Structure 1
Amino acid sequence: MEDKIKNYRTAPFDARFPNTNQTRNCYQNYLDFHRCSKALSAKDQDTAPCDWYRRVYKSLCPISWVQKWDDQMEAGSFAGRI
């Protein structure tokens, strides 16, 4: 897994999102990263496996969206289920 993360270039094909529009893919990977981090942190485990989701959403999502979602997370007003 660590080799895959180190050799990461861009988001690989995801069969759940076969269309050209990758908006849903971006959002889902953002949610998956935070769910993974929350679940592993609750068990006092290393959150390194979650880095894959972070790299994927950072390569797919516009920076302004990520900043907006991060601000909403801090304010407690994020609409997604984490």
Structure 2
Amino acid sequence: MAEDIKTKIKNYRTGPFDSCFPNQDQTRNCWQNYLDFHHCKKAMTAKGGDVSVCEWYRCVYNSLCLISWVLVWGDHWAEGTFPGKI
């Protein structure tokens, strides 16, 4: 399974269609993938698993989110003032 994910990440171009977010505005999709990445990373680290399986979420949020948003969220994350529940 990990090889399949690595192949998908290697061939990744942009976020696939997600029926949960059918409209043109992909802000919520961006936010959800950002949170999913950090949830996945936290869970895999706690279990001692391979964190590379979480890279799919990172690829998706990097293609959907504005870079400035990701940088600000990273700053909030470092300061401990991030508004999302992870």
- Same fold? TM cut 0.5: yes
What letter corresponds to residue 39 of structure 2 in structure 1? R
Measure how far apart 1:70 and its partner are.
0.5
Q: Which residue of 1 aligns with 2:12?
A: 8
TM score, norm. by length of structure 2: 0.93
Alpha-carbon offset, residue 9 of structure 1: 0.5
- RMSD of the alignment, in Å? 0.6
| Identical counterparts, % of pairs | 61
Q: What pairs with 1:2-81 in structure 2 (closer than 5 Å)?
A: 2-81=6-85
Cα distance in 2 for partners of 1:42, 1:74 equals 19
Cα offset for 1:2? 1.6
Measure, in 1, the Cα distance between the counterparts of 2:14 and 2:67: 15
CA–CA distance in 1 between the matches of 2:73 and 2:8? 27
How far is 1:79 from its partner? 0.5
Tell me the TM-score normalized by structure 1.
0.97
Question: Structure 1 runs of 4+ off > 2 angstroms?
Answer: none
Structure 2 unaligned spans of 5+: none
Shift of 1:3: 1.2
3-state SS of the aligned residue for 1:9?
Answer: coil
